[in-house]
Structure 1
């Protein structure tokens, strides 16, 4: 099976949404930190384009920050999805899900340790919830890609 671009883009959107939903749930369930953590992470992400000046506390709601963070989040999710889709396009579902979980762990390392060399403010997001969200992203992206690609055949 060759790479299905539409399925990869759709899978990136689904996986980015699901991973965010899981992260929000875990923040609420284990840290009782909503909405503060959401606002903080939105500012961390939006600062990639908007600059460091949006980082200082308080982490409050801002429409511009939320929109920029959302655009960045989905652009990155789709990009990562295209990469994983290339890697798993010829694999069966079970191996794709395993590859997705490993890919999610690798993305955590890249995002939380590699990219902090350029965007050092992301060190704040290094925690078990973020690790789990990355694993969920990889698994859900792999499964969704396989399901979407199969439907189009």
Structure 2
């Protein structure tokens, strides 16, 4: 019989932190996989998506793609993803409080799509180079991020909200 009880009646900070870390790491790993596989199919540098995101945290002079990307751009990209994942996880926790586990996962997928739409159709036009990263591959990564965010948040919140 399915469990229809709420995952967390209030924001569960521990679950949000776990979800931010796990979903954020999965997002980065899927992005790296995409950067390695994409050049096989398109004429683009394998590190250009990371480089374009790093340009947000660096000056606009960082946007022309160098022959060697450098550790600074990769570090800045990872820091931006980690920070965004943390903020998004707590926002997600606020949205899904009091929902069932299945609904939390479903809302996670919708949340991932919403993050993509806001990011690429509201924010990206103001940032150099990010408009070029739109596509089904990036949508799938965002949907996966949302699903993992919902699953991890729901799982940890259910376990930590149960009385001993």
Counting only pairs closer than 5 Å after superposition, residues 127-146 of structure 1 correspond to structure 2 as: 127-146=135-154
Aligned to 2:3: none
User: Is residue 2 from structure 1 mapped to residue 10 from structure 2 by the alignment?
Assistant: yes
Per the alignment, residue 88 of structure 2 pairs with 80
What is the RMSD of the two structures over their aligned residues, measured on CA atoms?
A: 2.0
Selected match of 1:61 from 49, 69, 76: 69
Q: Work out the number of aligned pairs and report it.
A: 151
2:60 matched to which residue of 1?
52
Match of 1:110 in 2: 118
Structure 1: distance between partners of 2:12 and 2:82: 18
Q: Distance in 2 between matches of 1:36 and 1:43?
A: 10
2:48 counterpart of 1:40: yes
User: Greater share of helix residues, 1 or 2?
Assistant: 1
| CA distance 1:45–1:59, change in 2 (3 Å) | farther
Contact 2:20 2:89 in 1 (8 A): yes
Task: Select the structure of larger CA radius of gyration.
Answer: 2
Residue 91 of structure 1: how far off its partner (Å): 0.9
SS of structure 2 residue aligned to 1:32: helix
TM superposition score normalised by structure 2? 0.83
Which runs of 5 or more residues in structure 2 are unaligned?
Answer: 1-8
Match 1:122 to one of 117, 120, 130: 130
Ranges in structure 1 where 5+ consecutive residues have no aligned partner = none
